[in-house]
Amino acid sequence: MSQSLRPILLFAAMAAALLAVGFGQGWPVMLVILNLCLISAVMSVGLNMQWGYAGLFNAGVMAFVAVGGMVAVLISEPPVMVGWEAGGARILVAGVMVATFSGLIYALRRFISRRWIKNWGTAALLVAAYFIIRPVFEGGVTAVESIAAASAGNLGGLGLNILVSWVVAAVVCMGVAWVIGRIALGLRADYLAIATLGISEIVVAVAKNEEWLTRGVKNITSLKRAPVPRETNLQQAEWFQNLVSTLSGTNPGDAGFKTTVIEASSIFVKLCFTGLFTIVLGIVLFLAIRALNSPWGRMMRAIRDNDVAASAMGKNVVRRHREVFIVGAAILGVSGAMLTTLDGQFTPTGYQPLRYTFLIWVMVIVGGSGNNLGAVLGGFVIWFFWIEAEVAAQWISVNMEKVLTPYLDVVLISLGEGSLKVQHGVTWLKNAAPHFRYLLMGMVLLLALRFSPRGLIPEAGAARAH
């Protein structure tokens, strides 16, 4: 198969699969899958920059996704004025103090060359900062969290349009990535993996426990998601009713018109998201491809393939790695903010490493490390199977139950008093069905890595020794 035809055929197959879902399971289901496919593709492009361009093992994708989600909350939620009055000032003061101490530590490490002063001074400053800032901060937190705990108990956000957060999330994630990069880049490759794994656990712990910031496990629901309208508002709007009536050929008085409007509003909202996400994916993909084909991208691949030679040519390997790590993290942050926008809520307990870190890895490896189109395809394919695997497993377990109903009391193995009957097997299958997709993803990753290490759409002209 020629190189140029292969991606087209693969994307056509993916589109056909999505269309099949549309006809089989209905268009709302298909659009739900498609929207998450688009977000997954953005994540996958972001991770592909870090892994595919530069060979960096980021085991903390979830950290950037969760930070993106938190930024979406803090930008779009209206400020909780009572909370600010109660303890906002103290928290702000604590924030200023954190900034001051960070500045001091930076200055110390920058301008003093004696190693022991540097290290002990940093340690002393950190300890001092902890004991000075903590009482100020905690007083504020207690005050904020005790105000209207059932409905708020937090400071809220800036009350801006949630689209703003997509940009801000990128900036914040760049900051986080800069810090991690300073610590863990330039050492053994797997140290970065462990450091990012740690950061991701901490970010999620912050999201769960800092109620003044995110309401923690009390969750933040019903985020405003303008410019996309809400279904209920749409159903009342006259222009929308007229549109539905023209498209479906029914009139507002007809029987069943209401159901049609409700269905149509759900599809319309999802299509709005699809449009927005497609634009973002388009921009990200365009930039990523341009970056990869620029001198910077070629240098990146050269460093990846032989860092010793690249460094002999005068390239600053650690610095370049930091750059690409930061850029990739920014894209991951955008995807996190998009995800929270789509959900319309922020639920910290939902962030699981298998889903938000390692699944993205499967996407990149399967799609094609180092190839942006491959990463997009991987995002689509893997998300599709992740969803449909569960549907398939449920379908199998339900049908097995139907088939086996007459034989539920047949004894399989008899063990003294108790015995293993068919019904035990059926119950087991029902309980096991939701876990099927983890097995599938593990197998897909292992098989892809073994038999198709360059992925569905391989990197052009790469002679990478796997």
Partner 1 sequence: MTDLLNALVLMLNFVIIPATSYGAQLALGALGVTLVYGILRFGNFAHGDTMAFGTMFTIFFTWLFQGLGLSLGVLPTALLALPFGIGVTALYAISIDRLVYRHYRVKRSAPVILTIASVGVMFVTNSVVRFLIGTNEQRFSDGQKFIIKARDFKEWSGLSEGMKLKTTEALTVVVAGIAVAALFWFLQRTRMGKAMRAYSDNEDLALLSGINPERVVMVTWIITAALATLAGVLFGLDKSFKPFTYFQLLLPIFAAAILGGVGNPLGAIAGGFVVAFSEVMVTYPYKKFLKYVMPENLEPSGLMQLLTVDYKFAVSFIILVAVLLIKPTGLFSGKVIRA
Residues in the site for partner 1, rule: CB under 8 A?
55, 57, 59, 119, 130, 183-184, 187-191, 193-195, 197-199, 201-202, 205, 208-209, 353-354, 358, 361-362, 365, 415-416, 431-432, 435-436, 438-439, 441-443, 445-446, 449-450, 453, 465-466
Q: Which is nearer to partner 1, 55 or 140 (CB)?
A: 55
Q: Is the peptide bond before 227 cis (omega within 30 degrees of 0)?
A: yes
In the complex, what is the shortest distance from the CB of residue 316 to partner 1, in angstroms, rounded to a whole number?
A: 19
Q: Which is nearer to partner 1, 190 or 254 (CB)?
A: 190
The CB density around residue 433, as the number of other CB atoms within 10 Å, is 20
In the complex, what is the shortest distance from the CB of residue 366 to partner 1, in angstroms, rounded to a whole number?
A: 11
Q: Which is nearer to partner 1, 125 or 272 (CB)?
A: 125
Cα 178 to Cα 104, 183, 201, distances in angstroms: 18, 9, 18
The CB density around residue 111, as the number of other CB atoms within 10 Å, is 8
Q: How far, in Å, CA of 261 to CA of 288, rounded?
A: 40
Q: Which is nearer to partner 1, 170 or 370 (CB)?
A: 370
In the complex, what is the shortest distance from the CB of residue 183 to partner 1, in angstroms, rounded to a whole number?
A: 5
Residues 6+ away with beta carbon under 8 Å from 325: 50, 54, 56, 58, 177, 180, 181, 185
Q: Which is nearer to partner 1, 27 or 438 (CB)?
A: 438
DSSP code at position 459: P
In the complex, what is the shortest distance from the CB of residue 450 to partner 1, in angstroms, rounded to a whole number?
A: 6
- Amino acid letter, residue 34: L
DSSP code at position 463: -
Burial of 427 (0-12, 13-18, 19+ CB in 10 A): middle
Q: Which two tokens stand for residue 99?
A: 């900034």
Q: Which is nearer to partner 1, 56 or 173 (CB)?
A: 56
Instruction: Say if CB 57 and CB 190 are below 8 A apart.
Output: yes
In the complex, what is the shortest distance from the CB of residue 390 to partner 1, in angstroms, rounded to a whole number?
A: 12
In the complex, what is the shortest distance from the CB of residue 270 to partner 1, in angstroms, rounded to a whole number?
A: 30
Q: Which two tokens stand for residue 281?
A: 């994916």
Q: Which is nearer to partner 1, 53 or 358 (CB)?
A: 358
In the complex, what is the shortest distance from the CB of residue 432 to partner 1, in angstroms, rounded to a whole number?
A: 5
